[in-house]
Structure formats: C-alpha cells, structure tokens
Amino acid sequence: MIIAGAQVFQAGPDAVWNFLMDADVLARVMPGTRELRQTGDGQYQGKMAVTIGPITAAEFVLAIRLTDIEAPRRYVMNVDASGKLGFTRGLARVTLEPEAGGTRMDYRADLQMGGKIASVGQRLLDLVSRTMLKSGMEALVAEVDRRVAGENR
C-alpha cells in the first residue's frame, strides 16, 4: 500500500526536524502509541495498539530505523511492527523544504501488512492507515505549533 502526501508547518526546517527526531513528540502524535523510546542514533523502539475493523486493540512491538539522513532536509524511515495478529513493514521517504516562512514536509510510504490483520481486507486497511496518518499529522502540527508558541513567549 502506498501512502503519499504533504504537510505544511509554521516553523522552520530545523525546528520541524528536531520535533521529528524527538521520541517524546513522536509518541504523543502517533495514534495508538503506548511507548516509544530512542535506543540509538536514528533508532526507536516501542509499543502500539491499533483497532482495525473486528480486530480491536491489536498490540504491536515497533522498531523504527532512520537511514539516508541529511539533516534537516531528508531521511528514510524503516518501520517494522509485529504482534500476535500480524505484522506491518514499510519504508517512508520524508523531505523537508522551506516554504513561505514555514516548512513543507513531503512523504511517501510503502507499507506491507500480513497475518490475521491483513485478512480484514485491503480497503479497510487503506482507510484505517489513511485515518491514522491524518490524525497523526494533525497532532504533529498542533504539537509543533504549541511548542513554537512556547518558545516565542
């Protein structure tokens, strides 16, 4: 499944980059995240729970590894999540560009899901993935705005 889009932030690329590297910020904005900690340079581990149709609160162990890092411009995020009900693996390319006093983030993710969780059907998986992404982006924008406003006081 391919998910692509863009998001504009009212903060400069350096600030947005720092938020995207902060495990506390990511844990706050990623839907279903119960725990996320940085375990090394560009490496994170955690737990999340996701509800997809009849599968409620499926718990996953999450590992994220960032590669091809060019701060504060781009990186590739490798995601591996697995649990009793299946797995999700994916690769996301993220780029940040200055835009009108803020930052434009472009992303493109290619995700594969397997196991029982994949049995709910591709359309439902697409819908849930897009809904989670939208919710996460809205939360990230709000978190960036809140933190930038706090710094400007």
Tell me the per-residue pLDDT of 108-150, one tens digit each, with 9 for 90 and over: 999 898 888 777 767 777 887 888 888 899 999 999 988 888 7
Give ∠ CA 74-15-79 in degrees, rounded to 5: 45
CB-side exposure of 7: number of CA atoms within 13 Å? 20
Give CA–CA dist 127/41, Å, rounded: 32
17 has a pLDDT exceeding 80: yes
Count: domains in the chain: 1
Give CA–CA dist 48/80, Å, rounded: 12
pTM over 0.85: yes
Tell me the per-residue pLDDT of 20-29, one tens digit each, with 9 for 90 and over: 999 999 999 9
In which domain, by residue range, is 80 found? Answer: 2-151
Please tell me the predicted confidence (pLDDT) of residue 152.
Answer: 65
**CB 52 within 8 Å of CB 124:** yes
Identify the CATH number of the domain in which residue 135 sits: 3.30.530.20
Tell me the per-residue pLDDT of 27-38, one tens digit each, with 9 for 90 and over: 999 988 999 999
